[in-house]
Structure 1
Amino acid sequence: MPRSDRLFDLLQLLQDGALLRAEDLAARMGVSTRTIYRDMDRLTAAGVPVKGSRGAGYTMEDALTLPPLTLTAKELEALNLGLAIVAQAADAELQVAADALANKVDAVLTAQGMAAAEAWKAALNPFADPTRNLTHLSLLRPAIRARQKVALTYTAEDGTVSRRTVRPLHLEYRGRVWALTSWCEGRERFELFRLDLIETAEALPELFVDEPGKRLKDYAP
């Protein structure tokens, strides 16, 4: 049984509020007790309200369960950006709730084969300055539509600061970090920029046209 299916089945078993021993869950799932311990750690890390400990058993606190939702890429991007803003609120309880919800979203994305998003969380937390993401998104989207070149000041993960002129091609989120796929004019190659590492972005008056080798469809990560 795939892990994602097993985690879902565990949630169904825990929802009745009964205290369940890891040994009994392991027998139901056909796995080892150690696997159940790891599964419970994953559920807890994802923000699922599982209570208990190894040897004592596990149960789940009352929580609102939403039906399965199908979100578009833009809807999920809006959700992530909203969570980033709430995480900066003065209300500490809301900050904790926003981070827990973001972890649940991340857990679902990982279960759907988006584990690569984890690689984007290592350097700067995108929640550190949600205003920067908002500013860049509102500038870059129109630039992509208008095929307008953009000047970026970018701080790489190693701290190196550079100034780039790019052709913005595509925006997407990876986990909780937004990324810009572009063609860098100076380095003459495709570049992927994390929005949370962009210091400044300025739309230039110069436009660009599609050229073979410089188009989004030519990009191969």
Structure 2
Amino acid sequence: MSDIETSRLSRLITLLTLLQTKRLFTASDFARKFEVSTRTIYRDLQTLEKAGIPILMEEGKGYTLMDGYKLPPVMFTEEEANALITAEKLVSINKDVSLSKNYSEAIIKIKSVLRYHTKDKVNLLSNRVEFWQDPTVIFEFSNLLSSIQNSITNFNVLEIEYQGAQKDETTKRCVEPFAVINKVGENWYLIALCRTRKDFRLFRFDRIKKLQTLEDNFTPHKISLKEYLEKYRQDTFSNP
């Protein structure tokens, strides 16, 4: 097999993987990623269709796989499997219980598709990697990340009871969740539009004493997370 054929085969496999990970891609999206022409992408998509892959095109939006179509499980290399196991150990010490639980369940499913000889090596590595925590440091854990992530992707308003700087200072607010960020080794934060303040605010997970997902939906915010963080940094450093 020539280098050109190998490159195309790799691109076709990656195209399939991408179609599974994101609902819609345009030909231009693919062309930019692979640094080829859109004409090349159209030919690749036609090749996949001829192979029986049910690719649908939504006019003006992009390409997707037919709903319900399942591709055979992806085979991981040993290095990729090792990276996932190491990440599992790192996730297990984060301060949100829902993330640890969901990731562990995902890893179980991933392990099920590994080749037998890779499984043995992964199990060995799992017992040989650990992230040490200082036993003298007391952490406050949350169990909110999974619910907040769902509200972000479904544009659901959240009602929260939030503790202020003083422990007896608790307020109830309705917020429009926008994003979550984490200070490495520290707290998770919710970035949300506070309907009371009519502006974006940061809410520490360990200060959210109660959270309820409402049926009320909000209009998605046009600002990107990158734009928000740049503005936040500018405001922080310009107003010490």
Q: TM-score, normalised by structure 1?
A: 0.42
TM-score, length-scaled by structure 2: 0.39
- Which protein has the larger Cα radius of gyration, Structure 1 or Structure 2? 2
Structure with bigger RCO (C-alpha 8 Å, 6+ apart) = 1
